Structure 1
Amino acid sequence: MNSMNLVGGALQHSNPSVRLRAALDIGTTPDPRHLDALVQRCSVEPDFQVREMLTWALIRLPASLTVPRLIDQVRSGGAQARSQALHTLSKIQDPSAWQAITSSVLADPDDEVARSAWRAAVVLVPPGSEPALATMLATRLGRGGHDVQRSLSRALVALGSVIEPMLREAASSRDVAVRAHARATEALLLDPDAGFAVFEAKRVDALGVVDSAG
């Protein structure tokens, strides 16, 4: 059995410690011949630490080889494949990866894919394209539960002051969830160390509605 087959077998071993060690060994001695095995394993690997090591191993390979392969995964892979590919592209930070950040991937129905897309987008956005990206991200305000909303807010805040007009508009939305999310994001923009408090924003919003009604 050749070394390629041995590596492939180790990456599929039932013991996550064996898979972790295999990914570490591959990354320590980068070889483009391992690219397909790494990408394929990323799409199914259940263990977070192993996935992070697979990402590290991919980063160690030439971007000219990995980036096109990962973009293909974003476009046609399953949910985990798309999410992990976006995560890896955000770590590689090659400008050509921006083409993977489309409006559809930013609005992906799978929360983990969308969160990975938001994080990658703010890292890969070309200079001057921040306002357009902020506009697209702002259309997602109010989506999902606490963790999803926190991810979006952090992505928006990473873009800086360009998000202020979008947040002001969203803060007057008829949708309670959108208003509260926008106000929580505004608070995070003003004080990034304060934490994300969408529930407090909802309470304040409710009080404001009551006051205005009175």
Structure 2
Amino acid sequence: MLIGEVARRCGVSSRMLRHYDSLGLVRPTGRTVGGYREYSAQDIRRIFHVEGLRSLGLSLRQIGRALEDPAFAPSTLVSELIRRTEDRLKREQELLDRLRTIDASAPLDWQDVLRVVELLHGLDSPSAAHRQQAVLAPAEDAPVPIELLAKAVLTEADPNVAGALRWALARAGDDGVASLAAGLSSEDVDIRRRAIMAIAELSGEEATTVLADALGDPDPTVRAHAALASGRRGAVAAIPMLVDMIVEGANDVEAAEVLGALSLESADRIMRALADALTADTTNSAARIRLTQALAELPPTAAQDLLRQLTHDEDRAVGLIASAILRTLEG
């Protein structure tokens, strides 16, 4: 079979077939009387072998070695090809994310594009100080890419930079809720914690809904941030978690303050939750002391009856604290 027909049937150009011949990769077994290359069926099979290995990303040199050396083991080379391909895909994904970020900022001209690129470079800096500076001192009149800020919030481990990112995101408006909410579905608990802290600083009904959903998160820190933020927004669903925080001694003072703010609307419900917690485990003196102290944050009309009962509590410390709070409220 002559080179032109081989090229048509194999889908390999005549030029490439001549290149294979010059490298000794696929040499036709015969020549016509006129000196034209003539390929046998075995030659054509070898062409398909070469093209198959090329499709895996092997160089022509590697293909030649693979076909000629019986001792050549493919496992090492294939593993290397996998690593190189993964690296390339990662770089291409990073480029795609960068382009989408620029597109989301709706640039009006190339100057806007360059400003976003400058912010991207700043946030990619290995220096926490440089990342923080990029957030706090953006270029004048630069569009704020909210998706970029939200993504950076979810991955930023430095607390100072994370605080700056949350501040910038809150200034940009409430459009970042959806991007941050995606972080609450992550299996990485640190990402969920960063997400809930950022959402807690955003306003709007969408943020309130996401915070309420996060009350069921398996991580206690996520639940605590959600409860405090939800409670400040008047969500009575946060009451059980706020009481649990007091029992456990985790942000108990802050939880008691939020309950105090909630009590104007839900005093009876809060009092029942506190009373149940006080009787649930009478051996946990430290928890019962904290629960008693929390009553000081509630309106006197709501807390006095329970405080009077606690003045006779078997735990002397609880009784003394209840008496002191009661005298203050009555005075």
TM-score when normalising by structure 2 = 0.48
CA distance in structure 1 between the aligned counterparts of 2:218 and 2:170, rounded to whole angstroms? 27
Asked if 1:84 corresponds to 2:189, the answer is no
CA distance in structure 1 between the aligned counterparts of 2:230 and 2:139, rounded to whole angstroms? 25
SS in structure 2 of the partner of residue 58 of structure 1: helix
Larger RCO (CA within 8 A; separation ≥ 6)? 1
TM-aligned CA deviation for residue 28 of structure 1? 6.7
2:274 paired residue number: 167
Asked if 1:7 corresponds to 2:7, the answer is no
1:106 paired residue number: 215
2:252 paired residue number: 149
TM-aligned CA deviation for residue 121 of structure 1? 0.8
Structure 1 vs Structure 2 CA RMSD: 3.4
Unaligned runs of 5+ in 1: 192-203
Query: 1:107, 1:140 within 8 Å by CA — same for their partners in 2?
Result: no
TM-aligned CA deviation for residue 94 of structure 1? 0.8
The code of the aligned residue for 2:170 comes to I
CA distance in structure 1 between the aligned counterparts of 2:139 and 2:279, rounded to whole angstroms? 49
Q: Which has the larger radius of gyration?
A: 2
- How many matched pairs? 190
CA distance in structure 2 between the aligned counterparts of 1:116 and 1:209, rounded to whole angstroms? 28
TM-aligned CA deviation for residue 66 of structure 1? 1.1
Cα distance per residue 1:152-185 (max 9 Å; x no partner):
3333233225222321222222252543332132
Cα distance per residue 1:71-95 (max 9 Å; x no partner):
2223336333323332332322212
SS in structure 2 of the partner of residue 75 of structure 1: coil
Which residue of 162, 166, 169 corresponds with 1:51? 162
1:91 to 1:102, Cα distance in 2 relative to 1, 3 A: closer
CA distance in structure 2 between the aligned counterparts of 1:15 and 1:28, rounded to whole angstroms? 22
TM-score when normalising by structure 1 = 0.70
The code of the aligned residue for 1:137 comes to L
Q: Within 5 A, what are the aligned runs for 1:112-127?
A: 112-125=221-234
Which residue of 260, 282, 289 corresponds with 1:180? 289
CA distance in structure 1 between the aligned counterparts of 2:257 and 2:190, rounded to whole angstroms? 22
The code of the aligned residue for 2:208 comes to W
The percentage of aligned residue pairs carrying the same residue is: 21
1:195 paired residue number: none
